[in-house]
Amino acid sequence: MSKLTRQACILGGGMTGISAGIASGLPVYEDTEAPGGICSSYYVCPGNKKRLHMAPKDNEAYRFEIGGGHWIFGGDPIVLEFVRSIAPANSYIRRSSVYLPDKNLFVSYPIQNHLRSIGPDLAAKALSEMVQAATQNHAVTTMADWLQANFGRTLCELFFDPFHDLYTAGLWKHIAPQDPYKSPGNLGLAIKGAFSDVPPAGYNVSFLYPAEGLNTLAQRMATGCKVHYGKQVVRVDIEAKQVHFADGSGFRYEKLLSTLPLNHMMKMTGLEVESKPDPYTSVLVINIGARKGPSCPEDHWVYIPRSKAGFHRVGFYSNVDSSFLPATSRRLQDRVSIYVEKAYPGGQKPNEQELLTLQEVVVEELTGLGWIEQAEVVDPTWIDVAYTWSLPGSQWQRNALKILESHRIFQVGRYARWNFQGIADSIRDGLSAGAASRNWKATKDKVE
């Protein structure tokens, strides 16, 4: 008679997974060869295509993020102190704008609090509509309804409608209102902002960023737990309680902490619920290292409602910190490190030729705007599950989590639980779940 051991473990080595690994002592299984998931940095030397997990010795490389700009905003003070204890971090005050290409105009974010920038006539009309909307009872079912009920026709036509059409890949007319702090509505601030300066508003007014990059934070956190790299989960057999990896290996489990996207976990387990699955958007992040253009914005990131290439946001890593630039350019500031985000309906990844064409169009558009000159690095990354949404009245998320839990699979973190949150909250969730599972024990099955 022999015995087979069933173990408890963590699936996914992003920020949530390695945090849970630190707190629990359980092994972590990660798809890629480095920790951090989409919240991790990498380096590319000018004129090269090879990604480096560490900066070269001479520091002559652009630093990028896998999933675009990921800044540590909000969060519990104790979590932020935990981050600082692992990787010293700098503090920043957000610089962000809305760019209206038809007017070649930058308006400080959020646009509704800076109406005097769009001209007196348009501002008066927009403000009048916001006041009127505040006195009416609107039927709100979708995100489109919510935007109209809060900001009125003028601002919706000018910015909110076209931007959210790009940002949600066309879903905004079908999904429930979500994350109102991304479009903060405060009539008092809007009125004041039509005539004078107002204080910053929104969910990311200030943020932290590790001085040596997110990759350093992730790598140092990963030293506090046992991570198995190159382990892509392809199937979870809920009857035999077995996890199967793409390399042919696997193991039997007792309980799982999973940070994998909720839709992926449902598919890999073969479980179903009666509710229609909630939608999501994928995002193509195009990281660009280039010579700085004469009109390059000084913002950390810019929201764009209309673009030829269809992108909805352009971020400027090197406006946050010069360490994103090759060493010789940090003092001269003659280069810029950029990320460009373009959303797609969930899973509809462009083919290789479409991707090459899009990169050319993006570089051409940014050059035409005067934001860049010669591009030295153009490096795309596909984020399959980037933004998660809910259909009006949907119970899919709740039911999916419940059925997985009945099979001893516990989802933890942003994508695993299908809700928006930042890095700090993801680390908090991982630490909390890890502490709660610290006493999970492996068990042994008798086999004849």
Q: What 8-state DSSP symbol labels residue 128? A: H
Helical H runs in 52-211? 77-86, 120-134, 143-155, 161-167, 187-193
Q: Is the pLDDT of residue 228 over 90?
A: yes
- Buried/exposed 371-391: b ≥16 CB within 10 Å, e otherwise: bbbebbbbbbbebbbbbbbbb
Lowest mean pLDDT among 197-206, 237-246, 343-352, 373-382: 197-206
Mean local confidence (pLDDT), 353-362 = 97
Any idea where the domains of the chain sit in the sequence? 2-36+211-276+394-447, 96-193
Of 247 and 441, which is predicted with more confidence? 247
What pLDDT is attached to residue 4? 52
User: Three-class SS of residue 111?
Assistant: helix
Give the DSSP letter of residue 194: T
Model pLDDT for residues 386-430, shown as the tens digit of each residue: 999 999 999 999 999 999 999 999 999 999 999 999 999 999 999
pLDDT band of residue 270 (cuts 50, 70, 90) is very high
Classified as helix, coil or strand, 273 is coil
pLDDT at residue 2, as a whole number:
42
At 8, the pLDDT band (50, 70, 90 cuts) reads very high
Q: What is the mean pLDDT of the chain?
A: 94
Which tens digits make up the pLDDT trace of 282-298? 999 999 999 999 999 99
Query: In the block, which residue shows the tokens 């030295």?
Result: 376
Say what the pLDDT of residue 201 is.
87
Rounded Cα gap, residues 108 and 122, in angstroms: 16
The domain 2-36+211-276+394-447 belongs to what CATH superfamily? FAD/NAD(P)-binding domain (3.50.50.60)
pLDDT digits (tens, 9 = 90+) for 188-216: 899 999 889 898 888 889 999 999 999 99
Report the chain's C-alpha Rg in angstroms: 23
* Residue 368 in tokens: 């035409």
Q: Is the pLDDT of residue 448 over 80?
A: no
Strand order in the sheet with 280-292: 105-108, 96-100, 301-303, 313-316, 335-345, 280-292, 372-388
